[in-house]
Structures are given as structure tokens and as C-alpha cells.
Amino acid sequence: MYKKIGQKNLFALLCVVLLIGTAVPAQAQSKNNNRFEVSKNLDILNAIVKETEMFYVDSLDVEKTVRRGIDAMNNMLDDIR
């Protein structure tokens, strides 16, 4: 069977398998790192909203404030490209 495939084709197949085997864990690690960064930034946002709600001079509509933050982020996405 190996003689029919040929050494060059077998080597190419082995290279493809090795590349796929190393790319998948790297991609998963990148996703995990991205999720960690998102989680960290959400924690920071939550702390800022809590501090502002507690110490801002006037009363704060938290839902409206968070909605404005989300809208601002969505509007900024068009500017990034």
C-alpha cells in the first residue's frame, strides 16, 4: 500500500497532518486568550459602573448608561476598519 502512495505523497500527507495537529491547539489557545481578555474587560466595566453608581453626585440610570456604552462600542466598530 505504501508503495502505491509513493514517498513524496506520503511525506506531503504527513506534513498536512502535522500542520493541522499544531494549528488546532494554537487556534483553541487563541480563542481562550481572547475570552480571557473579554472577561477581564467586562469585569473592569462592571467595576466602573458600580463605582459611578455609588459615588456619582447625581442618581444614575444604570440601564441607560450601559446601553449608551454598548451603542458607542457598536458605532466605533465601523471606525476600526
Structural domain boundaries enclosing 36: 2-80
Task: Look up residue 81 and give its DSSP letter.
Answer: -
Point out the least confidently predicted range of 8-12, 29-33, 66-70: 8-12
Read off the pLDDT of residues 61-70 as tens digits, 9 standing for 90 and up: 888 988 888 8
List Cβ neighbours of 60 (8 Å cut-off, separation of 6 or more). 52, 53
Of 19 and 39, more confident: 39
Is residue 58 helix, strand or coil? coil
The tally of domains found in the chain comes to 1
| pLDDT at 25 > cutoff 50 | yes
Of 8 and 48, more confident: 48
Q: What percentage of the chain has pLDDT greater than the value 70?
A: 62
